[in-house]
Each structure stands twice: as C-alpha cells, then as structure tokens.
Structure 1
Amino acid sequence: MIYILTQNYPSEKDKYAMSYVHSRNLIYQEQKLEFTVVSMVAVENYYFEGIKVITKNNFLALIKADKLSMKDIIVSHAPNLKNHITLINKIYFKVKKVIVFFHGHEVLKTSDYYPKNYKFNKESYVKLILRDLYDEVKLKIMKQFIEKLTRADKLTIICVSNWMKKHASLCLGIDFKKVEYKIINNNANQVFVNSHYHLDDESLADFVTVRPLDVSKYAIDLVVKFAISNPEFKFHVYGKGEYFNYNKLPKNMKVINEFISQKDFPALLNKYRCCLMPTRLDAQGVMVCEMATYGIPVITSKLEVCEEMLGDFTNVYLAEEDFFSKNTDRDFINQLSSVHDSFNKFSIENTVLKEVNLLKDLQKK
C-alpha cells in the first residue's frame, strides 16, 4: 500500500485544497496504483472523485495496530513538523521507502523569500519574530530528518523544479549530491494538454487573472497597476479575498468570486485574449504552466523559476515588475504566438508518470 500524506485535501467543501496533489493522484488511480490519502485536517474519512481519504487519527490507529509493513511506501507532500515528520519518524524503519515532495515553504526561510504582507493584512512584530524562530527550528529538524533517513537508505526527495532544489539546498545546508533525489515537475491537468486555446467570437474581457486576492506573492496589486495604466482594456479577476475592501477597484476591472472546476477552465480561457498572472514567488506555478500549455497568451513575472518553467513558450511574456506600470497596446498581445513546441512539457508522460514508474519500481523490489 502507498500512503500519501498531505496537510489538506480537496473535498466537497473545499475543492481547491492542495489540488496539485489530487491532480497527480487521479493519474495514480488510472495507472492502477493502490494508495490511500492521509489528510491531517480531515475530521472523518471520505472519498473525493474516487480517491480514498482517511484522517490522521485513522492512520495512527493503523500504526498502533502494527498494520504497516516493509511492502508499504510513504509519500509526503510539503512535509511539516507537527504532522508529517512526527508521523514518519515513528514508522520510517517499518516501511520500504519514504518519498518526500518539496513544493516550497516547508524548506524555505519565510523572511528571506516571501514578500511582506499587504498593509491591511500586516503581521505583528511579535508574530514575525516567532515565525523566524519557527523557521530556524523547522529547517534544523528537516535537515536532521533528511540525514537520518538517508543513512537508513529510506529516503527519496522529489523537487518540483531545479529552482526548488537549489534553494532547498541553500536553506537546509544539504548537499544534494549526497542524497537520493529527482526533479519532477507538477503535471498540467489533462484538460489543458488535450485541447487548445481558441478565442471565442464574443470575448468577456481582454485580460483574465485567477489569484487569491490577499496573498502578496500573487501580486494582485500589479494587476491593478496594469489595469490603471491601460484603461482601454477590460480586466476580469477570479478570486476571493478582502483586498478591494481596502484598495480601490479600477473602473475597467471586475472581480468574480466563484469556483471554477478544472474541466471548465479551458472554455473560460477561450473568452479572454490574455492571462495576466504576475507572481513574486513560486516553486513552479502550476496554474500558469497549465495556461501556457493550453496556448493562451500569458504574461507573468520574470523570475528565475518562471524562466526555467516557461522560457521556451513563445506564448509567454516574462515581465519585469515595472512593466505592470506601463501602457501597452493590442499589437503586443497579438505578437504572443500560441504556436510552440512546448505543449507536452507538463504532460503526464514528462511529469507524473515518472512518479508512477518510481513507485512501481519500488513495489517490485
């Protein structure tokens, strides 16, 4: 059995929760892997789109009953101290292998990487100090955890980008030449791979942005700046938050607070000329990779990781931050081609099937 540990998981009440884990699990299911998801915040066992999800307490009961064996594999996504590492330390010697996915915050020092919160969401000085202290403990324990499981020949680390590996190494003080690791990007949902962008005759607006509004790393303030600098364009923003309770909404911008299922996303994108997706930090940026794969013109930020992921997509423009304060014209958008050779970069063959093959190989040993 494969046990997949996550802090949260999609449910009927929250369909967005760690959806990048669910996306790959659907492929695992198609590939006939036998697995169970362990959600640390679930209060009862449930199924979501055919995926079995159990609670942390239920998993602890399995451990207590000594139900784990050397045939079992533990997969941990974005492991934290409170749940994942505590659990894995209890059982790593009882199972065949532990596969840890590094997605971002779990191996980064927050104050060195994450932008400051928006003013209306500002954290207290005491909270910032406590966060830095926690990060010191987090990184120290994570390093010890990696070294211990490596000595026991129990660990494989999967980083979702070379950028993630580089900065995990810097923050943890780990030489990745001395650990077993792989670079495997998150996959794009099949709906973005199997179809291709075409602009509807009647578009809803020029630009579309899909972002949490209150998280400063997703830079809704840059979208606002761009809208103000380009009053001749119309902008639609899909997202939730309080940002516009404290900041003025431009006249040419509309905020739409509604859930969009992935299967409906391509049809929605066809109603817009360009995706406007600035960012201040990403380990990969799954959603923008999906948009680029689909073929719609995309504007995102010129970050190292964005260049790694999207530098070879001719429908993607990597913008410096000052770009969002400038006026542009429709010709600029038209010049972004939707014809390129990178559509398969985030296909399941190049991403999640590598994980499937790793798991199947381990099960054969």
Structure 2
Amino acid sequence: MVKEENNEILVITPGYPSKDNPYNNSFVHQRVLGYLEEGIHVEVFSVPGSPYKKNMDKPSVKQYEIDGVPVSEGTHGNLEDHLKKKRYSKILVHFAWKGIMEVVLEHTGDTPLIIWVHGVEALSWKRRLFNLTSSPKEIIKFIGYIPLNKIQLRFVGRLIEKQNDRDMTFVFVSHWMKEILEEDTGVRSTIKKYRVIPNVINDKLFNYEEKDENLRYHIFNVRPYHSKKYANDLMVDTIIKLKTYKDFEKLRFNLYGDGRLFDDTVKPILGLTNVNIHKGMLPQKEIAARHKENGILLMPTRQDAQGVSMCEAMSSGLVPVVSDNTAIPEYVCGDCGYLCEGPDEMAKAIIELVENPDIFKEKSKTASKYIIEKCSGPVVLKEEVSLILKK
C-alpha cells in the first residue's frame, strides 16, 4: 500500500554530499538547505553509479543525514521500491538520466515532476569533439560513448514530448542550455513548461570587498584539467601572448587545478617566475580566500551552461576576462567584464585593466552587484520555492 504524504518533497539525484564525499553534487545540497529554511520538508534519494546503466539489484539502502537533510542512497531497484511505498506532493529530479527517469515515470503516477537539466545528459556527442586526442585509448573510449549518448538524447526527446501527458516542468540554468537541448534532441516542438533558474552562488562566502587597485596585477584561475572544455590551453596561450607586454613582469598569475591534462597543459609556462602553479583542487572556503588576493579572473571556456566558478569569482569582485560563447554572455555584461573571442582579445583586456585602475575598480564593483542580482541565494531560492509550491 502506498503511503500518502502530500506535504513532502522528494529530491532524486545521481549523487549527494556525505561525510566521505562532501562536494558530491553540492549544488543540489545548497538548494535543499534553502528549501528547509523555507519550511519545505524535503527528503533525498541518491542513485550513484553509471548514468548509462540501470541497476535493478536491491541491496540494503544506505541511510544517513547531513546538515539535517535525511538521505537514502541506493540503486535504481531501491528507488523503485521506495517510490512504490510512498507518495510525494512533488518530485524534483536533478539530471534527466534515462535510467533514473524511467523508474520515476513508471512508479509516480500523476505526481508533478520538476526536472533540472544540467547539460551533460542533454548535449550531443558532436559538441564534445574537442576532447578527442590522438591517443588510441581515448579514441576507443570516445567511440564507445557515442551510442550511449545517442540513446540518452533520444530518451530526453521522448521525455519532452510527454509534457502533454504529464505534469512536468523543466529547469535550465541558462537559455543557451534550453535551446541546445531542443536542437540536439531534435524535438518537434519547443518545450512548453520550463523555467530558467541559475545555479545559486553563495554570496556570503564569496562576498565583495572593495579591491585595492594593485590587485589588478594579480590574475587568478581555478579549473579542472580533465577535459578540454575548460580551455586551460587558451589560458596558457593568453599568458604567453602577454610576455611581450612591457609590464609583464609586474603581473602575477595564480593558477590552481588538477586532472589528466594538467602537466602537459602548463608545461609551456613552467619557467615563468611570475606564474605560480598549484597542482590540486581547492575547497570552496580556500577559493574564497584566494579571491581576496586577486583582482582579475582569466577563465576561457569552450563550453559552459552557466560557469559557476566564474560567477563565484565575480561575486567576490574579480573582473572576468572570459570567452564569448555558449551561456557565458548570459552572466557577463560589458560593464562588468570582457567577453573575448580568443587569447589575443583576452591579453588586450588584461592590459586595459592594468593600465586603467579606475576601470578595474569600477568593473570589479559592478561584476559583484550584477551577479548577485542574478544568482544570489535569496534570488534563486525565491524562484525555486515559487516553482515548487505552485499548485
């Protein structure tokens, strides 16, 4: 018998923070904490493992609590049992992975669904061609990914077409993400019920303090190095182009990150005495501390549905020198930063900031104000709570 709990919300996600892995999909946890503060009762069911393979085994469900949030962790089979036993007023799903969504659609009756599309589950393999290398191992891995991606995209296309039959709302972090999903899934009509709500930025942690003008010489970057989508090679090219600048020696580049591409990517700038390279990822509190020591964010990209690290740096008052592509223009304006076509334009932007301290200070202040108005906790939480409570 299904237990009716019409005032409760279930959040389903392919991963959730725990004591052993505190940063696992932490952006979902930050949302849930906000819901609890608003008096919305939320439970979480986490389904880790391969997003392309449905596991219908039913081992014991792991139960734990983090920051007052009750979490169940199990397989697709465990999720099926859970949904058979208990009814919720709404179900919130992060990532529209085929395996999880099939279980949800089959076992939730007419329960309204809110589905967050984050990108990785809704982008065609063709948009990841930049990751191809000459390595036979990497080529074989990529070829194996193509059919899995095609199956996933066909499923998402069918999911969109179910909107006429089911109370289902999609949430995107940018308009770019919605448009690309429609294009890559080949849906016959545009998505009817959707909202564009960005990932939240913790503006209390990444708080603005007026920048000393000398911080315009200090240039910051923190990125993973496991994919070419992060365009760390373009960051390196920008630094190399700046070597011809008359005041290059005054600049200080503070670079943080790790991943399989790290060593090869930073090799061309290893000998530069004003480039400080730190191998390893930083926790959020440490990133916020490094923001206080820098004034410019140099962060190109080949593909971003929002650019959360960029938004965090802007909240702290760093002036973004970034790529003019994908969703980035939705989060950076000309008054608060520089949208650039490549390393040449990025180098020119940095030189302009260095030679014009007044421009640097004004853009720093504007960057923080601009992004807080878009992505701060109260702004995002208001949008999401209104969606969740909507009848």
TM-score normalised per structure 1: 0.86
Alignment partner of 1:98 is 2:125: no
CA distance in 2, matches of 1:257, 1:14: 20
- Aligned letter for 2:291? L
In the alignment, what sits opposite 1:86? 102
Match of 1:6 among 5, 10, 13: 13
Q: Is the CA contact (8 Å cut-off) linking 1:209 and 1:277 kept in structure 2?
A: yes
Q: Is the CA contact (8 Å cut-off) linking 1:238 and 1:257 kept in structure 2?
A: yes
CA distance in 1, matches of 2:357, 2:144: 45
Instruction: Kindly state the Cα deviation for residue 280 of structure 1 after the two structures are TM-superposed.
Output: 0.6
TM-score normalised per structure 2: 0.80
In the alignment, what sits opposite 1:348? 377
- Aligned letter for 2:306? Q
Alignment of 1:1-365 (within 5 A): 1-41=8-48, 44-57=62-75, 60=78, 63=81, 66-69=84-87, 71-82=88-99, 84-93=100-109, 96-111=111-126, 113-117=127-131, 119=133, 124-148=138-162, 150-174=163-187, 177=190, 179-191=192-204, 195-199=207-211, 206-231=218-243, 232=248, 233-247=251-265, 248=267, 249-250=269-270, 251=272, 252-258=274-280, 260-311=282-333, 314-323=335-344, 326=347, 329=351, 330-331=354-355, 335-336=359-360, 337-340=363-366, 342=370, 343-362=372-391
CA distance in 2, matches of 1:264, 1:109: 34
- Aligned letter for 1:320? E
Q: Deviations over 1:142-190 (max 9, x none)?
A: 2222323x23332111111111111111112235655311111222113
The aligned length equals: 355
CA distance in 1, matches of 2:134, 2:275: 21
CA distance in 1, matches of 2:355, 2:302: 26
Q: Is the CA contact (8 Å cut-off) linking 1:118 and 1:214 kept in structure 2?
A: no
- Aligned letter for 1:300? V
Q: What SS does the aligned partner of 1:344 have?
A: helix
CA distance in 1, matches of 2:122, 2:83: 32
Q: Deviations over 1:109-140 (max 9, x none)?
A: 022x2252274877544333332222221111
- The farther-off stretch of 48-57 and 299-308 is 48-57
Instruction: Kindly state the Cα deviation for residue 275 of structure 1 after the two structures are TM-superposed.
Output: 1.2
CA distance in 2, matches of 1:121, 1:352: 44
Percentage of matched positions with identical amino acids: 25
Q: Is the CA contact (8 Å cut-off) linking 1:204 and 1:271 kept in structure 2?
A: no
Q: Deviations over 1:81-103 (max 9, x none)?
A: 23x2232132231x521111111
Instruction: Kindly state the Cα deviation for residue 64 of structure 1 after the two structures are TM-superposed.
Output: 5.5
CA distance in 2, matches of 1:234, 1:304: 29
CA distance in 2, matches of 1:259, 1:12: 18
Q: Is the CA contact (8 Å cut-off) linking 1:293 and 1:346 kept in structure 2?
A: no
Q: Deviations over 1:207-238 (max 9, x none)?
A: 11110022211111112122222342221122
- The farther-off stretch of 247-256 and 156-165 is 247-256
CA distance in 1, matches of 2:231, 2:154: 30
Q: What SS does the aligned partner of 1:101 have?
A: strand
CA distance in 2, matches of 1:203, 1:338: 11
Q: Deviations over 1:302-352 (max 9, x none)?
A: 11411122126x231111113268465321676232233523121234323
CA distance in 2, matches of 1:180, 1:56: 30
CA distance in 2, matches of 1:358, 1:263: 30
CA distance in 2, matches of 1:237, 1:14: 24
Instruction: Kindly state the Cα deviation for residue 205 of structure 1 after the two structures are TM-superposed.
Output: 7.1
Q: Is the CA contact (8 Å cut-off) linking 2:257 and 2:278 kept in structure 1?
A: yes
Q: Deviations over 1:17-63 (max 9, x none)?
A: 22221222221121121112222128833233333221124982673
- Aligned letter for 1:75? L
Q: Is the CA contact (8 Å cut-off) linking 2:171 and 2:195 kept in structure 1?
A: yes
